[in-house]
């Protein structure tokens, strides 16, 4: 049975003055942009049917997996795909960051308390099976540095170290993650670890969009996910952000995820308008699986997210 889509929690708009109908030239440009985006391989014709939520806007929705989009002050632009829980890989780290920043608030630009790298986090630096960052046992790193190492190059060992620091054990921290999800109304989400490595961590694009709307209100989180890169502790080597869409299609942040069970995934945030009229456009694309492994899956998720962000911004500009 198909689960009905739920509208993410996005603050309602203030009453707005009635706007004049846009000139035909503007409408024509928007239509041309959308037509070009719909021609991207793997994107659905907006007239394609039963996988779109009622009232979904005519955007370049992915033809597979799940996707949800909302505009700040407007609300949901729709959902595509059955909202059944699927593995979300490292998109999990958004909830890890949310709980860490809830339990240990950081003012924007501040580093926060120091955390000592334990033996387990150092040993996991050498893992060939998952994404990790080089950490040396006994080194002291600030809370913010560890958040950067978790969110930018997607270090699983940094996520688990933060979880143990916060709650004493990863198991106890995971319980806090699930409590936070329940409090936000994310009733189709189950977390089984802090990093997303476990395929048993599952969610839906609608649930993750609720989290995106909440966590993007935290200025420290927004600052971190907007960074194009960070540096490796000790060596100073540059570590690039896995979200290669930064600076494209208005995208100013987000979090990638990829694994064999999850395919490719991305929670993305873009802006539209300017100055006092600037608004956030929030999107989640999950379970993009071209059939050739997690790396191609992530490439597909990035490409389809870019098309969806462009389409959503074009719609918001009408």
Distance between CA atoms of 297 and 300, rounded to whole angstroms? 5
Name the pTM for this structure.
0.85
Question: Does the pLDDT at position 15 exceed 70?
Answer: no
Question: Does the pLDDT at position 98 exceed 90?
Answer: yes
Q: Indicate the range of 105-109, 141-145, 309-313 predicted with least confidence.
A: 105-109
Task: Indicate the number of domains in the chain.
Answer: 1
> Does some domain include residue 133?
yes
> Does some domain include residue 69?
no
Instruction: Residue 230: give the domain boundaries.
Output: 86-316
The tens digit of pLDDT for each residue in 31-85 reads 343 333 333 444 554 434 458 999 999 999 999 999 999 999 999 999 999 999 9
> Does some domain include residue 24?
no
What average pLDDT does the chain have?
88
Which among 104, 108, 94, 138 has a CA at the least distance from the CA of 120?
138
The CATH number for 224's domain is 3.40.710.10
Q: What is the DSSP letter of 81?
A: S
> Does some domain include residue 45?
no
> Does some domain include residue 78?
no
> Does some domain include residue 235?
yes
> Does some domain include residue 182?
yes
Per-residue model confidence (pLDDT) at position 142: 98
> Does some domain include residue 164?
yes
E strands, the chain, are 66-71, 75-80, 86-87, 114-116, 140-142, 202-203, 229-231, 238-240, 251-259, 263-272, 279-288
Which pair of structure tokens corresponds to residue 308? 């969806």
């Amino acid at each position: 049975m198909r689960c009905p889509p739920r509208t993410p929690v996005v603050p309602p708009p203030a009453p707005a003055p009635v706007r004049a109908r846009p000139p035909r030239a503007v409408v024509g440009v928007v239509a041309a942009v959308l037509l070009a985006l719909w021609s991207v391989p793997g994107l659905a014709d907006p007239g394609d049917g039963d996988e779109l939520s009622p009232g979904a806007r005519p955007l370049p929705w992915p033809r597979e997996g799940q996707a949800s989009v909302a505009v700040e002050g407007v609300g949901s632009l729709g959902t595509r795909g059955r909202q059944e829980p699927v593995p979300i890989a490292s998109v999990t780290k958004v909830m890890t960051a949310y709980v860490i920043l809830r339990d240990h608030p950081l003012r924007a630009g501040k580093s926060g308390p120091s955390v000592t790298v334990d033996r387990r986090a150092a040993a996991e630096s050498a893992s060939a099976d998952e994404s990790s960052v080089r950490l040396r046992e006994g080194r002291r790193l600030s809370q913010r540095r560890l958040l950067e190492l978790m969110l930018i190059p997607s270090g699983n060992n940094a996520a688990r170290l933060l979880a143990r620091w916060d709650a004493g054990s990863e198991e106890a921290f995971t319980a806090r993650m699930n409590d936070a999800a329940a409090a936000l109304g994310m009733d189709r989400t189950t977390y089984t670890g802090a990093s997303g490595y476990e395929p048993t961590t599952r969610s839906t694009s609608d649930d993750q969009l609720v989290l995106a709307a909440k966590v993007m209100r935290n200025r420290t989180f927004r600052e971190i996910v907007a960074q194009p890169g960070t540096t490796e502790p000790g060596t100073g080597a540059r570590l690039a952000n896995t979200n290669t869409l930064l600076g494209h299609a208005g995208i100013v942040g987000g979090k990638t995820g990829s694994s064999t069970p999850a395919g490719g995934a991305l929670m993305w945030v873009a802006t539209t308008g300017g100055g006092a009229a600037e608004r956030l456009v929030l999107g989640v694309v999950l379970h993009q699986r071209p059939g050739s492994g997690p790396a191609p899956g992530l490439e597909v998720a990035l490409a389809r997210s870019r098309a969806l962000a462009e389409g959503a911004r074009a719609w918001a500009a009408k």
